[in-house]
Every structure is written in structure tokens, then in C-alpha cells.
């Protein structure tokens, strides 16, 4: 049997993630499960399954056509939450660009370069100067009245709603489902790596909870309708039992 050139799709039994790729075999039916870099953890945590999508002639032209088809598969879904591909030809996913930005930011912070080469006082001073100059020249947001800015914001939101873009890409139900799945995945990763909640001992969590509760309970709030003063929970119970709107309250300390 001759070696093959083909495009493929990797899916996982336990989760909805997927990955597209291409392969030029050296030997027929050699074992190959993709070459992920950023998202290799998914292959290690879950059970991958491979589906061969299309075969091509074992020639230079066939391989070039295979790469074109691979890019055609990846490009529309590059920023899909379930897609594990992070690159398509010369295009990178938003996640990769975001991580690169964070890495550059960390480097600037460590080496005191770029924006981190200035003190907070200097950045604040420059920000005020630039803001005042923008206001004086009537540029940026100061080139419009409050009414015009409000109207523009409404138009943008309406356009997003009509085109199902921005926050309207997913329904509330889809956002809820994606959030729950993402939370479970993040929790599993943190459990394995010992980060987040799993990077704190039970004793530390208990101590942090006590401190937070003490801080909240030390606050004093007043009911604007009756003048009753209590902590947040006490005032909430008081107003609820009397049918008083929760908005009729004010923090004293």
C-alpha cells in the first residue's frame, strides 16, 4: 500500500473540542494524531478520535492542494471556542495574539521597558495631559456631544443585534452552557496544575472566607425609607420582610 496525503479532523469522546490538520505519510497508515503545541493538554486529558476527510494525489501538486483545503477548513473556525487550531497559514487566533500580548507585557514589566518604564505618577501625569489636549482640540470622544455618543452606541448595539455579532453571537442559553463547560475544564486544569482554587489549602480557604465575612459584616448600611441601620445581610432581611425596595439603601461605612 502506498503512503497517503490527506486532511483529517480530530475530535474527543469526552468534550466538544476539535482540531483540523493535514498529513503526508512516509509509510502507509502510520500512526499520527496531529501536532498541537498550545493545546497539547487536550490530547493528554481526553480520548482523541481521527477522521480522514479527503485524500490527495501523492505528488507535490497534491500536497499543495491538501494544504489549501486544510486552510479552508480552519480559517472560518479559527476563533471558535471549541477549535484547538491556533494558526491558519499566516493568521493566528485571538487567543495566541492575546497570550503574546501578555508575554510582551510581562517582559516589559520585568525589564522596566515600554509602558512599564514609567512610574504610575508619570503615566497618570501623561494621561491627564493627553486628555486635556484631546479635550482642548475637540478630538476623540470630545468631538461629539453626549447625545451623539449615546446615539452612536445605540446604533452599534442595534447593528450587532441584527447581525448576531458581539455579545449577540450566542443566545443566553448557549452562553450559559459554554460558561459551565469552560468552568469545568478550567477547574480540571487547575486541579491538575495546582493553580487557582487548588493552589490554596483548605485551611487558607477557610481563613480567607472568615476574613471576607468579617469585612462584609463590619459594613454599615442604612435604609433610606425607615432609617434602620444594619450590616448588608441584616438590612436585606429587614427590607425584604417589609416589602421595601433594595435600591433604597446607602452604605455608611
φ, ψ at 145 (rounded to 5°): -80, 170
Residue 53 has phi, psi (to 5 degrees) of -95, -45
The predicted structure's pLDDT at residue 101:
62
Statement: the pTM of the whole predicted model exceeds 0.85: no
The confidence band for 62, taking pLDDT boundaries of 50, 70 and 90, is: very high
| pLDDT at 57 > cutoff 70 | yes
pLDDT computed for residue 74 by the predictor:
92
pLDDT at 228 over 80: yes
Which of 18-22, 98-102, 152-156, 188-192 is most confident? 18-22
Range picked from 43-47, 54-58, 96-100 for highest mean pLDDT: 54-58
Please report the pLDDT score of residue 155 as a whole number.
Answer: 84
47-51, 105-109, 223-227: segment of lowest average pLDDT = 105-109
Give the DSSP H or E segment for 22. Answer: strand 18-24
Total residue length of the chain? 253
pLDDT at 126 over 90: no
Question: Residue 102 pLDDT > 70, yes or no?
Answer: no
Q: What share of the chain is helix, strand, coil (3-state, %, to 5)?
A: 55, 15, 30
Over residues 162-172, the mean pLDDT reads 76
More confident residue, 249 or 127: 249
How high is the pLDDT of residue 51? 95
Amino acid at each position: 500500500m502506498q503512503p497517503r496525503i490527506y486532511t483529517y479532523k480530530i475530535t474527543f469522546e469526552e468534550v466538544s473540542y476539535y482540531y483540523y490538520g493535514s498529513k503526508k505519510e512516509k509509510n502507509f497508515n502510520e500512526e499520527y494524531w496531529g501536532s498541537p503545541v498550545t493545546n497539547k493538554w487536550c490530547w493528554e486529558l481526553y480520548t482523541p478520535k481521527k477522521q480522514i476527510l479527503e485524500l490527495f494525489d501523492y505528488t507535490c501538486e497534491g500536497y499543495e492542494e491538501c494544504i489549501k483545503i486544510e486552510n479552508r477548513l480552519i480559517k472560518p473556525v479559527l476563533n471558535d471556542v471549541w477549535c484547538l487550531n491556533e494558526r491558519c497559514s499566516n493568521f493566528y487566533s485571538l487567543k495566541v495574539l492575546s497570550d503574546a500580548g501578555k508575554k510582551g507585557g510581562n517582559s516589559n514589566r520585568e525589564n522596566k521597558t515600554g509602558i512599564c518604564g514609567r512610574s504610575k505618577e508619570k503615566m497618570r501625569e501623561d494621561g491627564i495631559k493627553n486628555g486635556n489636549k484631546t479635550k482642548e482640540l475637540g478630538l476623540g470622544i470630545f468631538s461629539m456631544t453626549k447625545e451623539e455618543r449615546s446615539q452612536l452606541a445605540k446604533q452599534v448595539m442595534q447593528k450587532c443585534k441584527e447581525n448576531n455579532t458581539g455579545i449577540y453571537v450566542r443566545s443566553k442559553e448557549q452562553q450559559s452552557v459554554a460558561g459551565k463547560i469552560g468552568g469545568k475544564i478550567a477547574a480540571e486544569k487547575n486541579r491538575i496544575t495546582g493553580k487557582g482554587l487548588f493552589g490554596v489549602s483548605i485551611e487558607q480557604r477557610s481563613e480567607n472566607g472568615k476574613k471576607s465575612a468579617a469585612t462584609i459584616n463590619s459594613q454599615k448600611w442604612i435604609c433610606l425609607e425607615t432609617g434602620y441601620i444594619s450590616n448588608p445581610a441584616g438590612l436585606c432581611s429587614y427590607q425584604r420582610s417589609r416589602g421595601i425596595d433594595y435600591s433604597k439603601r446607602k452604605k455608611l461605612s
